[in-house]
């Protein structure tokens, strides 16, 4: 009976340690849908780039509709551009709305209302297996 109690105690200890270890990975829990969109908004509106490179997938695509012309760029091109305007706060009000939300993909509309126009960003975030990452941003000016 004593051996059984010791075995059960060790088993419980093993399970508790295993559960604790499972959440002990650096950054785990950080790459949520909310974290990804908040990091994006901070970068675009406030010029705060901390963590942006982590929440943008390496293969992410950024597309801007300028008139009738589409301009596309890669993650590197976008990060290079944002570095040039780092810490510049935009004079706009921002709102977000959920367009689509399921277990694998989220589309969030981020409106940046300036004095004379609105920039609408449709941000697609996917569950990549390494957390929720931005995979596509499509921007339209109205």
Domain boundaries, the chain: 30-141
pLDDT at 24: 36
Half-sphere exposure of 127 (CA within 13 A, CB side): 7
> Sign of the CA dihedral 86, 87, 93, 95?
positive
pLDDT at 67: 84
pLDDT at 30: 64
Q: How far apart are CA 82 and CA 133, in angstroms?
A: 18
Give me the architecture of the 30-141 domain, per CATH.
Roll (3.10)
pLDDT in tens, the chain (142 residues): 444 444 444 334 444 444 444 433 344 456 899 999 999 999 999 999 999 999 999 999 999 998 889 999 999 999 999 999 899 999 999 999 999 999 999 999 999 999 999 999 999 999 998 899 999 999 999 8
Q: Can you give the pTM of this predicted structure?
A: 0.77
Q: Which 3 state secondary structure label does DSSP give 56?
A: strand
């Amino acid at each position: 009976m004593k051996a059984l109690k010791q075995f059960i105690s060790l088993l419980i200890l093993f399970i508790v340690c295993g559960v604790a270890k499972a959440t002990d990975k650096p950054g785990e829990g950080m790459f949520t849908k909310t974290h990804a969109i908040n990091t994006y908004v901070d970068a675009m509106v406030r010029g705060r780039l901390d963590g942006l490179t982590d929440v943008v997938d390496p293969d992410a695509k950024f597309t801007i509709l300028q008139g009738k012309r589409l301009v596309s760029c890669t993650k590197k091109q976008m990060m290079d551009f944002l570095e040039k305007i780092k810490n510049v706060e935009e004079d706009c009000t921002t709102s977000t709305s959920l367009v689509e939300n399921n277990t694998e993909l989220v589309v969030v509309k981020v409106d940046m209302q300036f004095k004379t126009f609105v920039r609408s960003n449709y941000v697609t975030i996917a569950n990549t297996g390494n957390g929720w990452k931005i995979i596509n941003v499509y921007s339209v000016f109205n």
